Amino acid sequence: MSGFSRFLLWDYPRASWQYDVIVAVILAFIFLTPRETFRDQARASNIVQLPIEHGATVFWVDPELLNPIPESLRGSRVEQLLKARYGKREAVVRLEPIFGNEQEITGYMAWTRP
């Protein structure tokens, strides 16, 4: 039990072979464990283009991008974000908040035309 408690408490002197083995095990765990084990997935994009509806292009916009901005300036901010992300100069025709179950804003739908 002495060896296990020394391992658990990291009681080996630095640069000893036991210390190096523990470091190697930790590094192997970090780099060889699959990402799915901890459900660490890449985050979705902040702006997503949706299928075209009646000639207008529709985008979903993450609320974090627009919440701190006054409501009157949100349309122009979406236009700037679309130009930066897609290289398109689109005019926002309509911008609507999407509400979740508890009436919190979960995103914005932006309808645009070229």
Tens-digit pLDDT profile for residues 55-84 = 778 888 988 888 888 888 988 999 998 888
What amino acid is encoded at 53 in this protein? E
User: Residue 30: which H helix or E strand, with range?
Assistant: helix 17-32
- Range with the poorest average pLDDT among 8-12, 21-25, 39-43, 51-55: 39-43
CA distance readout (Å), 93 to 5, 104, 111, 114? 66, 23, 6, 10
Q: Model's pTM, two decimal places?
A: 0.56
CA distance 47 to 44: 9
Q: What is the DSSP letter of 40?
A: -
> What residues contact residue 85 under an 8 Å CB cut-off, 6+ apart?
47
